[in-house]
Amino acid sequence: MKHPSRRPREAFTLVELLVVIGIIALLVGILLPALAKARKAANETQCMNNVRQLCMALNLYTDANQGFIPGDGGDGSQSVPVTECDASGGGTTYLTWDDPSLWWNALPPMLNLPTYNDMQLANTVPGPDSKSVFVCPTAGFGVADANDNTGGVATINGMFMLHGAPPGGKGYGDLVLPTYMCYVLNSKLNSTNPSQKISQMRPASTVAAIVEKRLTNLEIPTTDPNSGKALGQLKSDQTRFTARHRQGGFIGFMDGHVAWFTNFELSSPTIYTNGDYNSFTRVIWDPFDQIVQEGL
């Protein structure tokens, strides 16, 4: 009895497998850069939205406080803790970590968030890779530079350990607490002076309010004159401006709009009208500069 002939087994040949693998590799090579570009664009959009939210919180705060803007505090070093503020008449006001007039405590409640000091005391300060309004999605760990270390500022788990006066006191003593912020108040507003209101920040569309700050000096070349700046501070001007996004970053203005700038254009004195790096048509850092006041 004859057995029926067996049909040959259907399968890919080696050549066909190599062709399929080659096509898949080609598609991956085409799609991965596009996906990376899309992710980068999404992160930039989220970063810009964070700055916009903080600008909105700033405007809500001033509306609720007779137009006064919150305080920016000191450098966070041992000699100038974050809770020491310049006062009118050239004096010094000694506050505490939990003072509601300091910007990092003043703005979060406007967004239905706990104050920053509440998060510090609860050990819930948002750090790298968190989804906080204070954190840029592309920022990494903070790095203390020599100037930070000289001021007694260290970094632990990528957070800057800054000095300030303990809560509930009279503004004296030293309590070191963790901070991690990619967006901070413009340091040249000198906003702790009680005579300064948002109505004085003119033109509002040009005065910098919220600034995206570097977390490490590796964001800029070592040859940059601003390389080596202390970055632990909870305020910033053009010397600490970021370069995370296409060699630049975002600034939120007093009128609430947000714009992107390169690091170079904000730190190059050749495009500015005076030594305060003010530009009437682009960014005014110090709205109380004499030349700015005369030009308004």
Per-residue pLDDT at 12:
67
Per-residue pLDDT at 78:
95
In a domain, 195, yes or no: yes
Report the side by side order of strands in the sheet with 235-236: 235-236, 183-186, 208-212, 248-253, 258-262
- The tally of domains found in the chain comes to 1
In a domain, 14, yes or no: no
- For residue 83, give the nearest of 6, 170, 21 by alpha carbon: 170
Per-residue pLDDT at 92:
87
In a domain, 238, yes or no: yes
Task: Compute the CA torsion angle 171, 183, 210, 58 (nearest 10 deg).
Answer: -60
Per-residue pLDDT at 175:
97
Alpha carbon distance 71, 102 (integer Å): 5
Other Cβ atoms less than 10 A from the Cβ of 123: the count is: 7
Long-range interactions of 49-53: CB distance < 8 A, separation 24+: 50/133, 50/134, 50/135, 50/136, 50/182, 50/183, 51/183, 51/210, 51/212, 51/250, 51/251, 51/252, 51/258, 52/252, 52/256, 52/257, 52/258, 53/111, 53/133
pLDDT, one tens digit per residue, over 18-39 is 778 878 887 777 766 766 777 8
Tell me the whole-structure pTM to 2 decimals.
0.86
In a domain, 22, yes or no: no
In a domain, 204, yes or no: yes
In a domain, 36, yes or no: no
Residue carrying the six token digits 């910098």: 208
Per-residue pLDDT at 197:
86
pLDDT, one tens digit per residue, over 271-289 is 555 556 777 678 988 887 7
Per-residue pLDDT at 141:
93
Per-residue pLDDT at 273:
55
CB-based contact 65:54 (threshold 8 Å): no
- How far from 6 is each of 2, 10, 12, 13, 15, CA to CA, in Å? 12, 12, 18, 19, 24
Peptide bond preceding 203: is omega within 30 degrees of 0, i.e. cis?
yes
Low-confidence ranges of the chain (pLDDT < 70): 1-12, 31-32, 34-35, 88-90, 191-195, 269-276, 280, 290-296
Structure tokens given for 187 = 């340091």
Domain assignment of residue 160, given as a range: 47-295
In a domain, 51, yes or no: yes
Per-residue pLDDT at 274:
57
In a domain, 42, yes or no: no
- How far from 113 is each of 26, 109, 242, CA to CA, in Å? 47, 5, 25
